[in-house]
Chains A and B, each alone.
Chain A
Amino acid sequence: MSHTTTLDHEHDHDHKPKGFVNRWLMTTNHKDIGTLYLVFALIMFIAGGALAMIIRLELFQPGLQFVEPDFFNQLTTMHALIMVFGAVMPAFVGFANWMIPMMIGAPDMALPRMNNWSFWILPFAFIMLGSTFFMDGGAPAAGWTLYPPLVLQGGKNLAFAVFAIHMMGISSIMGAINVIATIMNMRAPNMGYLKMPLFVWTWLITAFLLIAVMPVFAGAVTMLLTDHYFGTTFFNAAGGGDPVLFQHIFWFFGHPEVYIMILPSFGIISEIIPTFARKPLFGYVSMVYASAAIAFLSFIVWAHHMFSVGMPFGAELYFMYATMLISIPTGVKVFNWVATMWKGAMTFETPMLFAIAFVILFTIGGFSGLMMSIAPADFQYHDTYFIVAHFHYVLVTGAVFAIIGGVYYWIPKWTGNMYSERLGKIHFWWSTISVNVLFFPQHFLGLAGMPRRIPDYSTQFTEFNMWSSIGGFAFGLAQVFFCIIVWRTVKGKGTTKATDRVWDSAKGLEWFVPSPAPHHTFQDGAPVKDEQLAHVSSH
């Protein structure tokens, strides 16, 4: 293997297309497209973060200081849409593009031209979505869940938001089809399903979730569009429709969607922890089954987002118990991560720090989720800052921490440069402390009854909101610092050259190609050697 990869390395410089347009606009190379996705996600993360900074600024004290209530609603709505569809999801697709072919020994993604298309749709979708800020009536302001009838009463933004969502959906679906086609057809000889790294497994499952639910979301927003412009009454009570129907369709998409944002994180964490614990992942097969179980359960629990909408008693009970069931496969995963670290020869490089923080903080988010799964208690939590705290624990200290940890873990492979461990550790502690100052007080605010999506609050909530805002500004600044670290690593400033293996006990095919990874890898179709893999199941 080392022989062939050396050959690849020598060919490398001849094969990179010349010129910016050829290299990036016309690219069909999985690594370049992965880079595009990751850079795009980082830009969106900063943009969505900037909106969040204005939200925290307004909430620093009670009363209306900086923004009008309607603009505040636009901020919360657009912050969520940008972060969910612009930052977290594209970041994971970026990881998938970079890592899946290298992890399964494939020369590229299965459908490289479609790959280019699915990326280049995205900037246009977000320009269209962002342009609504400058229109009459402003951006969508009914929350990212786009509930009618409120969303239909906004300004001229609806059509733009709906078509932007269609484009994001098409992009995600094409990306998912590509991932499935790659994993099912392009594995190198001897790369059986149960030898695949867990990141590949979780992405395969995520891709199936994507093709199952993104079209449902597209359908739901299409119905909003026809209700608004073409006189249909899907969600209009005056014509025999029902606004609650939208909530059912939306959450039939929405609940799998939240697992689309967390399953790849599980995969990344399952790669990082064994490397730095210097032990194989505990319970590999149970991890695969647990991921599949979580994906299945995600389809049958949607109405726990709607406990207070008025459901029959039996339905409340069913959705409560079904939701609680999810904690079992999730518990299996957390147990396995802890068991992997148990008696391991652990070291605490930046990726590992983020991974450990993920396990602890994601679990806190899981527990608050479990609290809200209790239907009678949820009437108290519903639409308060408690839910805001919950989903930020699972999405920021969950998904985003996994993404950041993954970047530190693989950036030496991507760039050939070892990031500055000192700066990485500063970034970690800065982020972890500030993110808890930011979101932990919101639990108390929610329990005390502060509603979400409101720019003003009663004075007894002031202290916790100030804490939260200070944490928010610090966390936002920490991510600017992260951009600087990434920039310095890419440019090789204050860095050392990365070895091919990078981490001293890393396993998996990606660590057996040179650093930086050559433009083309695994073109010879040679069989994979078992000793290079992290998991060689007896199946």
Chain B
Amino acid sequence: MNKTVLKTTIVSVLMFGFAFALVPLYDTFCELTGLNGKTGDPVAEDIIKKQVVDENREITVQFDANVNSQLNWEFRPTEFNMKVVPGKLYKTEYYAKNLSKKRAITGRATYSVAPGKASLYFNKTECFCFTEQTLEPQEEVLMPVTFIVDSNLREDVDIMTLSYTFYEFDSKNKI
């Protein structure tokens, strides 16, 4: 009887831990499959060299910018659409301005790529994701994004959207 109680108690404790284990499992799963528009980390230069430029395909990349309601910033892409060829490196910029007249504000952006099935083929070599950005009152900044659309992108995708959302960064929002 004690054995049964011990075993069932251990199962309960392990399942409590399992709930927390689901957090990294979910993240890994999303990164591997591109679920939720996760694109993985910025790619190294040597991956870029392996790309085959496919001049016959034209992909439209749309740029989207959002500001969380609690962040007093202006934030927008400098261009909304870009026609790109898979395998080539492109650069664009986002514009941000601290609208506050008194306060320096630190923001941090999250991003995603839609459609989800294309997100794994969107490689950023430089971006401002998850880095803290402090703007002095009324300060403006241009933030570059360089990216390359993988030449193995599936046939049925010809439009992709890169979306950024800026949040105010405070100690409550630590990763």
Of B54-62, B78-86, B136-144, B164-172, the one contacting chain A is B164-172
11 contacts between A and B (CB under 8 A): A173-B12, A185-B4, A212-B15, A213-B15, A215-B13, A219-B15, A219-B16, A219-B19, A244-B36, A245-B23, A248-B22
Cross-chain contact of B68 among A181, A213, A238 (Cβ < 8 A)? A238
On whether the beta carbons of A111 and B167 are closer than 8 Å, the reply is no
Quick one: given A181-B4, A231-B172, are A211 and B26 in contact (CB under 8 Å)? no
B1-18 interface code vs A (CB 8 A; 1 in, 0 out): 100110011011111111
A interface list, Cβ under 8 A from B? 110-111, 173, 176-177, 180-181, 184-186, 211-220, 222-223, 231-234, 236-240, 242, 244-245, 248-249, 252, 310-312
Quick one: given A180-B8, A181-B8, are A216 and B18 in contact (CB under 8 Å)? yes
In the complex, residue of chain A having the shortest beta-carbon distance to the beta carbon of B171: A231
Quick one: given A211-B15, A231-B171, are A238 and B26 in contact (CB under 8 Å)? no
> In the complex, what's the smallest C-beta–C-beta distance from B15 to chain A, in angstroms?
4
Contacts of B9 in A (CB 8 A): 177
Residues of chain B in range 42-77 having any CB-CB distance to chain A below 8 Å = 68
Q: Can you add 15 more A-B contacts, CB < 8 Å, to A218-B16, A238-B108, A244-B36?
A: A181-B5, A185-B1, A212-B15, A216-B18, A218-B19, A219-B18, A219-B20, A237-B167, A240-B110, A242-B36, A245-B23, A249-B22, A252-B22, A310-B36, A310-B116
Contacts of A180 in B (CB 8 A): 4, 8
Q: In whole angstroms, what is the CA distance A215 to B16 when docked?
A: 4
Cross-chain contact of A184 among B4, B130, B174 (Cβ < 8 A)? B4
B125 at the interface (CB under 8 A from A): no
Interface size, B (range)? 35 or more
Q: In whole angstroms, what is the CA distance A234 to B174 when docked?
A: 10
B138-175 interface code vs A (CB 8 A; 1 in, 0 out): 00000000000000000000000000010111011111
On whether the beta carbons of A312 and B18 are closer than 8 Å, the reply is no
Contacts of B167 in A (CB 8 A): 237-238
> In the complex, what's the smallest C-beta–C-beta distance from A218 to chain B, in angstroms?
6
Contacts of B30 in A (CB 8 A): 242
Contacts of B19 in A (CB 8 A): 215-220, 222-223, 249
Q: In whole angstroms, what is the CA distance A327 to B14 when docked?
A: 30
Quick one: given A185-B4, A213-B15, A216-B19, are A248 and B110 in contact (CB under 8 Å)? no
Instruction: Give the A-B contact count at a CB cut-off of 8 A.
Output: 99
> In the complex, what's the smallest C-beta–C-beta distance from B9 to chain A, in angstroms?
7
Quick one: given A177-B8, A215-B16, are A234 and B35 in contact (CB under 8 Å)? no
Contacts of A185 in B (CB 8 A): 1, 4
On whether the beta carbons of B130 and A240 are closer than 8 Å, the reply is yes
In the complex, residue of chain A having the shortest beta-carbon distance to the beta carbon of B4: A181
Contacts of B175 in A (CB 8 A): 233, 239-240
In the complex, residue of chain A having the shortest beta-carbon distance to the beta carbon of B5: A181
Quick one: given A215-B13, A216-B19, A220-B19, are A236 and B173 in contact (CB under 8 Å)? yes
On whether the beta carbons of B172 and A177 are closer than 8 Å, the reply is no
Q: In whole angstroms, what is the CA distance A186 to B20 when docked?
A: 35
B100 at the interface (CB under 8 A from A): no
Quick one: given A184-B4, A233-B174, A240-B110, are A211 and B12 in contact (CB under 8 Å)? yes
Cross-chain contact of B173 among A181, A233, A252 (Cβ < 8 A)? A233
Q: In whole angstroms, what is the CA distance A244 to B36 when docked?
A: 9
Cross-chain contact of A231 among B35, B110, B117, B174 (Cβ < 8 A)? B174
In the complex, residue of chain A having the shortest beta-carbon distance to the beta carbon of B17: A219
Q: In whole angstroms, what is the CA distance A219 to B19 when docked?
A: 5
Contacts of B169 in A (CB 8 A): 238
Contacts of B168 in A (CB 8 A): 238
Quick one: given A231-B174, A240-B130, A249-B19, are A312 and B4 in contact (CB under 8 Å)? no
In the complex, residue of chain B having the shortest beta-carbon distance to the beta carbon of A216: B19
> In the complex, what's the smallest C-beta–C-beta distance from B165 to chain A, in angstroms?
7
Residues of chain B in range 99-134 having any CB-CB distance to chain A below 8 Å = 108, 110, 116-117, 130
In the complex, residue of chain B having the shortest beta-carbon distance to the beta carbon of A239: B173
Contacts of A234 in B (CB 8 A): 23
> In the complex, what's the smallest C-beta–C-beta distance from A298 to chain B, in angstroms?
14
Contacts of B15 in A (CB 8 A): 211-216, 219
Cross-chain contact of A216 among B16, B36, B117, B165 (Cβ < 8 A)? B16
Q: In whole angstroms, what is the CA distance A212 to B165 when docked?
A: 37
In the complex, residue of chain A having the shortest beta-carbon distance to the beta carbon of B165: A237
Q: In whole angstroms, what is the CA distance A432 to B25 when docked?
A: 46
Q: In whole angstroms, what is the CA distance A285 to B175 when docked?
A: 52
> In the complex, what's the smallest C-beta–C-beta distance from A189 to chain B, in angstroms?
16
Cross-chain contact of A245 among B18, B26, B116 (Cβ < 8 A)? B26
B33 at the interface (CB under 8 A from A): yes
In the complex, residue of chain B having the shortest beta-carbon distance to the beta carbon of A248: B26
Cross-chain contact of B35 among A111, A216, A312 (Cβ < 8 A)? A312
In the complex, residue of chain A having the shortest beta-carbon distance to the beta carbon of B175: A240
Contacts of B174 in A (CB 8 A): 231-233, 239
On whether the beta carbons of A238 and B22 are closer than 8 Å, the reply is no
Contacts of B26 in A (CB 8 A): 242, 245, 248
In the complex, residue of chain B having the shortest beta-carbon distance to the beta carbon of A313: B117
Cross-chain contact of A181 among B1, B14, B171, B172 (Cβ < 8 A)? B1
